[in-house]
Chain A
Amino acid sequence: MGLIVAIFSGFALSVIAPYIHRVTRGATGWVISILPFSLLAYFASFINTIKHGEVVKVAYNWVPGLHINLSFYIDGLGLLFALLISGIGAFVIIYASVYLKGHHFLGRFYIFILMFMASMLGVVLSDNLITFFIFFELTGITSYFLIGYDCDREKSRWAALQALLVTGIGGLALLAGIIMMSLASGSYEFSDLLNNGDVIRNSPLYIPILILVLLGAFTKSAQVPFQFWLPGAMEAPTPISSYLHSATMVKAGVFLIARLSPVLGDTNAWFYTVSFTGATTMVIGGYMAVHQTDLKKILAYSTVCVLGILTMLLGLGTDLAFKAAMVFLFAHALYKASLFLIAGIVDHGAGTRDINKLGGLRHYMPVTAIIAGLATLSACGLPPFFGFVGKELLYKAGSSVSNIPALMTGAAVFANIFMFGAIWLAGVRPFIKKYNLLPQKAHEAPFTMLVGPAILASLGLIFGLFPGLLEEALFAPAASSVAGKHVHVHLSLWHGFNLPLALSVVTVAGGFSVFAFREKIVHVANKLSFISCYGSSLWYKKIYEWLFVVARVQTNTIQSGYQRYYLLTIFTVSTALISYKLLEIGGVHQFVNFGDVKFYEVALGVFMMVAMVTAILSDGRLTAVIALGVVGFCVSLIYVLYSAPDLALTQILVETLTVILIILVVYHLPRFSKLSSLKSRIRDAVLSIAFGGVMTALVLEASNVQLHPTISEYFVKNSLALAHGRNIVNVILVDFRGVDTLGEITVLSVVGIGVYALIKLQPKPDRGENN
């Protein structure tokens, strides 16, 4: 149970977070961060268990009938992510409390970020597939709110919607994939799937499953061609970018690929799709990063590059590649989160994120400069930082695959060279460049903003100097869960003179030359800019616009806006469908036996018909309304005669209120005049008679057909026994079919509010026409 409480604690705290903020004000970040810190400690306590290859499972029945359970489990992979999510989350919340100080929606921020953190924990720890999907979508929804946090700006709303739509479409594909996966294997739990990989790989559904699941993962992790939403999402405030778009959410897709690697992996289709998509993404991401001038955009594209690297590594599918992926992922989370936070500090302190304007910041913000240096060196993969360990492993994994090692290694070196140049541009140049064009006098950030990036960046150095610290505790279990078998991990800084080291040297040299000749590269690339006309972000825009065009055409065709045409359509269609069905079963079998009709029943019928004819022929609206009222009261009398007092009562009340309603509306209708032509009146008459006739036939026939004879008997028998009520109608309404009633009163409420809105919120009260 403790695990479930831990995962849901974020949701619980988010509910009261704005109220906490009202009390604690400036200290809210520190207060709220107690939760992620405790979660960090809680998850860290699992390290000892997980280290020995065990998994922790907790399950709580949610909707067992649909195989949806709140089941969670911790293995190496989930634990690695959970530690990153809670640890980085804590620092980001502390940082954001200062970064967003004075923002009028700061209270909301805590709600969203805590909900996001909780959903993210749910993603990485879910055992049940449907639960996983729900959390996966929740991260998308909460990130929609976080990206669109500055909802006053059009651009950030657009970026938020873009991210939501792209990841949402992928999410739908993923849902289909998940359902197929459970159809193929017969289980809704990851832990069962992991042991049933062969069943799924040999199933005829394997290729559709692969496509759908990867679509979900690729959209979430911004793989080509869906990479465009991630740089767009940089509209979010920097701490959010740091948390969502580098450390956690964008890695949910990578997580999914890693999680399902033992299930779907180890086939040619998997190898080529995943590794080639990853390789393309990393090359494009690295290349694009160099072209940016906005600090955050540079970091965003370099994140795309890293996501590509991780995907490629997972696609390669060797134990070494899995090891490399886990180490690289951890190193990246540390340095990229701190680089983003530093970008925020620079933006805050210097007033711009444009690298052409930034310079000489080491004089104004020396502490930030040191932290930025630590993070950049790790990001560039220089010894003795942890990033170096990750990159060495990447090259080793790339060069040792059996298939196409040269291509993969070459692509990795190319991407890393460009990423090196881009990171150097973002992390070092603003601090050491001689001159600057700052819009304001730069100043150092307060301690609260520095503490997060400082700790994250120094961790990169500590783990680099002592790479063995976590190898058995964290990386070995994580790589083992991805590989599906035990993987031994031994990390060290120095591997001797070998190929990876040579490639590292090439990367550093190449990176510096990219940095030095950046202007020229951009210049040449601009000449090739016609290629970007075919970029996926433009396709997104086109599809988005088309959607509106189609919606408009469709609405104009189907929704005429005239009540009479809607009624005409409904009556025609139902007449046609019902008469088709009646003809199919051979017409009406039982006719009324007029022998036992009582005289007062006949009188009532005649009375109704007279009232009906009066209603049709009358010239005044009021007369028509009253005549219709007479029909309604007669119907309630029929209910009384056939001993249905509940219905009779309801009918009387509804009828009274309807008459009142219509009379109120009558005031607003134009004078009663015959506008419709003879032709349309005849058409209406024919249709009404046909509809009435068919309904009569249906009622007569309905008493003959008993589809489920047991259900009404069940209600009669159990009304008093189970539901303590003698009024069966009411017991059905509030107990047996209570959920239906709940739905109905919800609809009723919506209708009430809708009518209110139509009447009250009109700019000018429209006299009649629209009623």
Chain B
Amino acid sequence: MNLIILSIATRYMMPVILFFSVALLMRGHNNPGGGFIGGLLAASAFILYSVSFGVKAARKKLRIDPRSLIGFGLLVAVLSGIISFFCKSSFMTSKWGGINVPLLGEFHFGTPVMFDIGVYFVVIGVTLTIIFSLSELSE
């Protein structure tokens, strides 16, 4: 699978897809997008990489074992639910806060966004775990 067009295209596409996946994740609260879609997109970036350069290279590129991403994502999601305990409300009550950055405007950040980030990582982790181990079977 050493297709020169594919491998060069992949090099340029990877950062674009990953950037786009993060953008989808972050804008998800107000526009089409969100953690699930973003996660799938990010996963497909790495799958594209594994198609052109092999699973080993893709794993190296990812640096982290996708299984750890599953755990990390779940942890982030659960923690986002626990934050509300400190405000004396029940599990997963959403909490919002905003900071005003000069020149850039106001940023809103809330626990649902954190939860979505957790979903994002779980989806990446699960998809890549399955696809990588299946492709390793065929190599």
- Interfacial residues, chain A to chain B (CB-CB below 8 A): 645-646, 649-650, 653-654, 656-657, 660-661, 664-665, 667-668, 723-727, 729-731, 733-735, 738-739, 741-742, 745-746, 748-749, 751-753, 755-756, 759-760, 765
Contacts and interface: CB of A to CB of B under 8 A. Distances in A.
B122 interface: yes
B77 A649 contact: no
B125 A765 contact: no
Given A724-B108, A742-B81, A756-B133, A734 B125 contact: no
Given A748-B122, A749-B125, A645 B32 contact: yes
B67 interface: yes
25 contacts: A645-B32, A646-B34, A657-B40, A657-B43, A657-B131, A660-B131, A661-B131, A664-B131, A667-B137, A667-B138, A723-B112, A725-B29, A725-B112, A730-B34, A730-B116, A733-B36, A734-B34, A735-B112, A739-B81, A742-B81, A748-B122, A748-B126, A749-B70, A749-B71, A753-B70
A619 to B, nearest CB: 22
Contacts of A649: 24, 32-33, 37
Contact of B37 (A650, A726, A734, A751): A650
A660 B47 contact: yes
A730 B74 contact: no
B130 A661 contact: yes
Interface stretch (B6-14, B56-64, B91-99): B91-99
Contacts of B51: 660
A733 B133 contact: no
In the A-B complex, list the 3 residue pairs whose CB atoms are closest, starting with the nearest: A752-B126, A645-B32, A653-B40
Contact of A752 (B40, B110, B130): B130
B30 interface: yes
Nearest to B114: A734
Interface string B92-121: 101010000000000010101101101100
B29 to A, nearest CB: 4
A172 B23 CA distance: 50
B130 A726 contact: no
Contacts, number: 140
Nearest to B24: A649
Nearest to A64: B90
A147 B125 CA distance: 38
A738 B92 contact: yes
Contacts of A726: 29-31
A731 B32 CA distance: 11
Interface of B: 24, 28-37, 40-41, 43-44, 47, 51, 67, 70-71, 73-74, 77-78, 81, 91-92, 94, 96, 108, 110, 112-113, 115-116, 118-119, 122-123, 125-127, 129-131, 133-138
Contact of B32 (A646, A660, A733): A646
A739 B92 contact: yes
B125 A742 contact: no
Given A734-B116, A749-B73, 18 more contacts: A645-B32, A646-B32, A646-B34, A650-B36, A650-B40, A653-B40, A657-B40, A657-B44, A724-B110, A727-B28, A734-B29, A738-B94, A739-B81, A741-B119, A745-B118, A749-B70, A755-B130, A765-B137
Given A653-B40, A724-B96, A759 B133 contact: yes
Contacts of A755: 129-130, 133-134
B31 A664 contact: no
Nearest to A665: B134
A745 B67 contact: no
Contacts of B127: 657, 752
Contacts of B96: 724
B112 A727 contact: no
B94 A723 contact: yes
Contacts of B126: 748-749, 751-752
Contacts of B32: 645-646, 649, 727
Contacts of A723: 94, 112
A667 B41 CA distance: 24
Contacts of A734: 29, 34-35, 112-113, 115-116, 119
Contacts of B131: 657, 660-661, 664
A753 B125 CA distance: 10
A270 to B, nearest CB: 40
A74 B42 CA distance: 56
Contacts of B91: 739
Contacts of B30: 725-727
A731 B36 CA distance: 13
A739 B137 CA distance: 35
Contacts of A645: 32
B92 A742 contact: yes
Nearest to B91: A739
Contacts of A660: 47, 51, 131
A723 B30 CA distance: 11
Contacts of A759: 133-134, 136-137
Contact of A745 (B40, B92, B119): B119
A360 to B, nearest CB: 59
Contacts of B134: 661, 664-665, 755, 759
Nearest to A656: B44
A735 B129 contact: no
A30 to B, nearest CB: 34
B74 A664 contact: no
A765 B34 CA distance: 37
A745 B122 contact: yes
Nearest to A733: B34
Contacts of B119: 733-734, 741, 745
Contacts of B40: 650, 653-654, 657
A727 B32 CA distance: 7
B47 A753 contact: no
Contacts of A724: 29, 94, 96, 108, 110
A646 B112 contact: no
A646 B33 CA distance: 6
A730 B33 contact: yes
Nearest to A767: B137
A358 to B, nearest CB: 52
B21 to A, nearest CB: 10
A656 B31 CA distance: 22
Contact of A735 (B41, B94, B122, B125): B94
Contacts of A657: 40, 43-44, 47, 127, 131
A755 B115 CA distance: 25
Contacts of A756: 67, 129-130, 133
Contacts of A729: 34
Contacts of B135: 664
Nearest to A759: B133
Contacts of B47: 657, 660
A714 to B, nearest CB: 16
A751 B133 CA distance: 13
A646 B37 contact: yes
A261 to B, nearest CB: 36
Contacts of B138: 664, 667-668
B122 A727 contact: no
Contacts of A667: 137-138
Contacts of B118: 745
Contacts of B78: 742
* A649, A653, A657, A665: residue with the most chain B Cβ atoms closer than 10 Å: A653
A516 to B, nearest CB: 65
A760 B112 contact: no
Contacts of B43: 657
A727 B133 contact: no
A738 to B, nearest CB: 5
A759 B118 CA distance: 26
Contacts of A665: 134
A721 to B, nearest CB: 12
Contacts of A765: 137
A195 B81 CA distance: 39
B28 A730 contact: yes
Contact of A730 (B29, B71, B110): B29
Contacts of A741: 115, 119
